[in-house]
Chain A
């Protein structure tokens, strides 16, 4: 049963060259900033009118 070496995963982390996870994170941050700005002024509106 036990085959030495087979169960051992050789995990050398190779990062995918075509990965766009930084882009994904960036657009999420951008979206978050848009929402925060909008909600901020919305509460000013609710407060004043």
Chain B
């Protein structure tokens, strides 16, 4: 790790840019969280929405605002502050680029939000054709993506100027990781940009009458799976390179961390078919190939698990712990910056296990389109990732605003993490169980004409509402802590923890910085996995579908 370039405090001007991103992210948390609460209440069958809104409108708000807005804004703000911290203050040009990106994303968000709130875009966050939204909804989402590219350009520019100033040296680990995530995001979003610009936008404007549903869904999932890794990798950045510093330990291996990030770049994109295993029109052989590639992404995840266990054990033993699991007791459980992301790490164990089930073709038949899947991504995104983001906020927000995390806030933050864990155990646990019994995802409350099987799901739906209510308490706590850290906490200097590599770790080889090589393999794998299936889809395309508006 190149500690010589690590500044102690992020420049105030860069801090403002990052905080602008966080304000939008936490407003999104408030709106999306409320929508989530309402959904679980409706699905319990004990509560009805007022006549001026509907379940699918609320569901669209929840998905778009939390899955797309909260995540993208938080991640961009986090990565910009990581780069500013580890590669030096952004230049005026880089910072200006970041601001242009921020405003482009914000304008896009407002456009999409107006369309959803006026009930002209209740198409859920996946906006699957042939559901058709107002053109401004698609245009708004396009601006969010374009804005994130401009933000990404600032990160790429900062990385290049660091490399120019430090020839022959590996870039700082956290800058490297931010860059990998940015590159993966740019390659992935080309898919969703293609379906929106060439298919959905002309179709919603009435320029063309029909849309090829399979092509649009395939382009969506070409983007949709790397999207989940775009959420996850910033959490991994904190787990690999920040949590070790918080606990007072060392990073197990810089090379291993970089290797796992490169593997995510290579294998997280050519795998979208595992979301389309039940879809006709794609040859099973190509589905099988993409399932294999999906299982290759398991490798860097298991590398991460190993590396984290090793970091914790090495730290515990350096503090004199003995026995097989004695090191667990030495970890700083009273520190929210560690304890809250740790709950996230634990949640990733059942989340990963569920992911293996989803990605296996036959097992996917058991859970496909059931609420098991919703339970799955509420463990990955809404627990592992979001609790890590909360854990990051507990030191990053006060660091950027020149304040400190007080003892009282630290305690409240730990309570917040525990409340979240309890709420999610109820909600996600009940979703997994009901999904195995066949309960569908996405759909509003229904007794399905008094069906016996549907009656079996109702107790689980009530458990989901209980969990959802507890989680909403967690959101209120988090917002309270965020507002405190941003505006009211005592002035002071909160540490920006950046881990150092263990002394016995090997020197980092320069091959990881060879972007021609890594991007080249990425493109080759994508072409290999997608070219022939796309030719098949287009050659054998049906006439396409007209748009449907059920709202």
B292-331 at interface with A (beta carbon < 8 Å)? 302, 305-306, 309-310, 313-314, 316-318, 322-327
Set of chain A residues within 8 Å of B306, measured between Cβ atoms? 23, 27
CB <8 Å contact, A22 and B325: yes
CB <8 Å contact, A26 and B353: no
Kindly state the separation between the CA atoms of A14 and B314 in the bound complex, as whole angstroms. Answer: 16
Set of chain A residues within 8 Å of B139, measured between Cβ atoms? none
A10 within 8 A of B: no
A41 within 8 A of B: yes
CB <8 Å contact, B309 and A42: no
CB <8 Å contact, A22 and B327: yes
B227-246 at interface with A (beta carbon < 8 Å)? none
By size class, the interface of chain A is: 20 to 34
Set of chain B residues within 8 Å of A19, measured between Cβ atoms? 313, 317
A10-21 interface bits toward B, Cβ cutoff 8 Å, 1 = contact, 0 = none: 000001011111
Set of chain B residues within 8 Å of A44, measured between Cβ atoms? 366, 436
A1-49 at interface with B (beta carbon < 8 Å)? 15, 17-23, 25-27, 30, 33-34, 37-38, 41-42, 44-45, 48-49
B116-169 at interface with A (beta carbon < 8 Å)? none
Set of chain B residues within 8 Å of A34, measured between Cβ atoms? 352-353, 356
Known: A18-B317, A22-B324, A34-B352. A41 touches B357 (CB 8 A): yes
Kindly state the separation between the CA atoms of A21 and B356 in the bound complex, as whole angstroms. Answer: 26
CB <8 Å contact, A26 and B357: no
Kindly state the separation between the CA atoms of A10 and B326 in the bound complex, as whole angstroms. Answer: 25
Set of chain B residues within 8 Å of A42, measured between Cβ atoms? 360, 362-363
Tell me if B's interface is mostly helix, strand, loop or mixed.
Answer: helix
Set of chain A residues within 8 Å of B302, measured between Cβ atoms? 27, 30
Set of chain A residues within 8 Å of B350, measured between Cβ atoms? 33, 37
By size class, the interface of chain B is: 20 to 34
CB <8 Å contact, B363 and A25: no
* Interface residue from A22, A37, A48, A49 paired with B309 (Cβ < 8 Å): A22
Kindly state the separation between the CA atoms of A48 and B365 in the bound complex, as whole angstroms. Answer: 10
The chain B residue sitting closest to A49, CB to CB, is B365
Kindly state the separation between the CA atoms of A30 and B309 in the bound complex, as whole angstroms. Answer: 11
CB <8 Å contact, A20 and B313: yes
Set of chain A residues within 8 Å of B322, measured between Cβ atoms? 15
B349 within 8 A of A: yes
* Interface residue from A15, A30, A33, A37 paired with B357 (Cβ < 8 Å): A37
CB <8 Å contact, B362 and A45: yes
CB <8 Å contact, B314 and A18: yes
CB <8 Å contact, A37 and B310: no
CB <8 Å contact, B366 and A21: no
CB <8 Å contact, A38 and B305: no
Tell me how far the C-beta of B25 lies from the nearest C-beta in chain A, rounded to whole angstroms. 31
Tell me how far the C-beta of B374 lies from the nearest C-beta in chain A, rounded to whole angstroms. 16
Tell me how far the C-beta of A38 lies from the nearest C-beta in chain B, rounded to whole angstroms. 5
CB <8 Å contact, B313 and A22: yes
The chain A residue sitting closest to B354, CB to CB, is A37
* 10 CB-based A-B contacts, threshold 8 Å: A19-B317, A22-B309, A26-B305, A27-B305, A37-B350, A38-B360, A41-B357, A41-B367, A42-B362, A48-B366
Taking A22-B309, A34-B353, A41-B436 as known contacts, 15 extra A-B pairs with beta carbons closer than 8 A to each other, sorted by chain A number, are A15-B317, A15-B322, A18-B317, A19-B313, A19-B317, A21-B324, A23-B306, A23-B310, A23-B313, A27-B306, A27-B309, A38-B353, A38-B360, A42-B363, A45-B366
* 10 nearest A-B residue pairs (beta carbon): A37-B353, A23-B309, A26-B309, A22-B313, A23-B310, A41-B357, A41-B363, A23-B313, A34-B353, A45-B366
